[in-house]
Amino acid sequence: MKSIFTKLMLTAAVIASPVLATADDHGDDLTYVLVSHAPDSDSWWNTIKNGLALAGEQMGVNVEYRNPPTGDLADMARIIEQAAASNPDGIITTLADYDVLKGPIMAAVDQGIDVIIMNSGSPAQAREVGALMYVGQPEYDAGFAAGQRAAGDGVGSFLCVNHYISSPSSTERCQGFADGLGIDLANQMIDSGQDPSEIKNRVQAYLSANPETDAVLTLGPTSADPTMLALEEIGLSGDIYFGTFDLGEEIVNGLKSGVINWGIDQQPFLQAYLPVVVLTNYDRYGVLPGNNINSGPGFVTKDGLELVEKYAGEFR
């Protein structure tokens, strides 16, 4: 017969032993669909795809990425409807145009599908459509912070190269920048389109017609890369103040060379990765963060570029 002391020691050992939770019997057959507004031509979204895939692998769930090939928002609305019809456990979606996309998103919520808004839109709009939360960078706030930074550097006028003018969130970046500078946006924003040659030509035409322009603001690699070529051809490379949203291989090179003063990192990896983690834990254990998650803005300069350069276009 075991002594009372031995029994107490065994009992204490059982109580003290950690209980390791696993995904077994906790919703290990979950599927989440991420719908973006990005056209196939926009390489910036590769980071989103990588974050989504890694989260799916680490959490042991199924993930899908869907988007309108040309970036057409009406097409995106139909894709959200199709995603909801497949009855996934959750939908992660951008809210690039509230008026166009609110209908299918709210219909998905009414159907009982959990939704998280990421990348574009706002926390307020996420609440209005019934989403669980918002994960992303408030675009106006990011533009405003960039404008304040530029104002501190002596900028008083600028050109905003908007390559996705049909998306209200893109315009919010330009408007925020103008407000941060304390000036009117007026005609300082151009619709550049997405063709690299057209972007380069339109930037050169604007700067030729407005030689007093202090700065250039681009909204991502799609507009930043051709703008760098435009500035080089007209002899302004490194001589005009240049800020950009987002990161990419050529943007990192521009930061290193001093052609670009700063890039705004909204950390797109987190915008795709975190919603999968949140949804998985919500479905498995009923836990949910109490607040929205701001993934940016963060300013990247040529100082401290080591990890950014290493993972640019992949995870940064």
The CB density around residue 3, as the number of other CB atoms within 10 Å, is 8
Mean pLDDT within 1-23:
45
Judge whether 7 lies within some domain. Answer: no
- My answer on whether 184 and 241 are in the same domain is yes
Asked whether residue 189 is domain-assigned, the answer is yes
CATH number at residue 108: 3.40.50.2300
Residue 6 has pLDDT above 50, yes or no: no
Token pair for 181: 């500078």
Count of other CB atoms within 10 angstroms of residue 63: 24
State residue 28's pLDDT score: 67
Task: State how far the Cα of 187 lies from the Cα of 58, in Å rounded to an integer.
Answer: 47
Lowest-confidence range among 20-24, 54-58, 186-190, 262-266? 20-24
Question: Which amino acid makes up residue 247?
Answer: L
Better-scored residue on pLDDT, 123 or 11: 123
Q: How does pLDDT run across 133-176, given as a tens digit for each residue? A: 999 998 899 999 999 999 999 999 999 999 988 888 899 999 99
276 with 128, same domain: the answer is: yes
Each residue's pLDDT tens digit, 124-138? 999 999 999 999 998
For 212-236, b where at least 16 C-beta lie within 10 A, e where not — what string? ebebbbbbbbbbbbbbbbbbeeeeb
In a domain? residue 24: no
Look at residue 38 and give its three-state secondary structure: coil
Q: Are residues 127 and 112 in the same domain?
A: yes
Q: Residue 306 — very low, low, confident or very high, per pLDDT cuts 50/70/90?
A: confident
The whole domain housing 167 covers 139-265
Query: Do 41 and 117 belong together in one domain?
Result: yes
Same domain for 250 and 286, yes or no, is no
Q: Are residues 180 and 133 in the same domain?
A: no
User: HEC states along 93-142?
Assistant: ECCCCHHHHHHHHHHHHHCCCEEEEEECCCHHHHHHCCCCEEEECCHHHH
Mean pLDDT across the chain: 91
Task: Give a yes or no: residue 166 inside a domain.
Answer: yes
Per-residue confidence (pLDDT) for residue 27, from 0 to 100: 58
Run of H or E residues at 244: strand 241-245
Which comes out higher in pLDDT, residue 189 or 305? 189
The count of structural domains within the chain is: 2
Instruction: Please compute the mean of the pLDDT values over residues 195-220 and round it to a whole number.
Output: 97
Q: Does the residue 23 lie in any domain?
A: no
pLDDT at 31: 98
Flag whether 84 is in a domain.
Answer: yes
Q: How confident is the model at residue 22 (pLDDT cuts 50, 70, 90)?
A: very low
Specify the pLDDT at position 201: 98
120 near 95, Cβ under 8 Å?
yes
Please tell me whether residues 84 and 116 are part of one structural domain.
Answer: yes
Contacting residues for 219 by C-beta, under 8 A, at least 6 apart: 160, 161, 162, 163, 164, 170, 173, 174, 244, 245, 246
Quote the percentage of the chain above a pLDDT of 70. 91
Evaluate whether residue 8 is within a structural domain.
no
Q: Are residues 36 and 85 in the same domain?
A: yes
pLDDT at 262: 97
Vertex 49 angle, CA 252 and 69, to 5°: 100
CA distance 251 to 227: 11
Same domain? 69 vs 156: no
Tell me the pTM: 0.77
Mean pLDDT to the nearest integer, 249-277: 95
Check whether residue 77 and residue 183 sit in a common domain. no
Q: How confident is the model at residue 20 (pLDDT cuts 50, 70, 90)?
A: very low
Average pLDDT over residues 271-292: 97
Q: Is 179 inside any structural domain?
A: yes
Same domain, 155 and 259: yes
Residue 313 — very low, low, confident or very high, per pLDDT cuts 50/70/90? confident
Q: For residue 23, what pLDDT band results from cuts at 50, 70 and 90?
A: very low
Query: Same domain, yes or no, for 166 and 283?
Result: no
Better pLDDT: 206 or 265:
206
Which contacts qualify for 117-121: CB closer than 8 Å, 24 or more apart? 117/93, 118/34, 118/92, 118/93, 118/94, 118/271, 118/272, 118/275, 119/36, 119/48, 119/94, 119/266, 119/268, 119/271, 120/37, 120/94, 120/95, 120/96, 120/167, 120/169, 121/94, 121/95, 121/96, 121/169
Sheet holding 133-136: strands in order across?
Answer: 62-66, 31-35, 90-93, 114-119, 133-136, 293-294
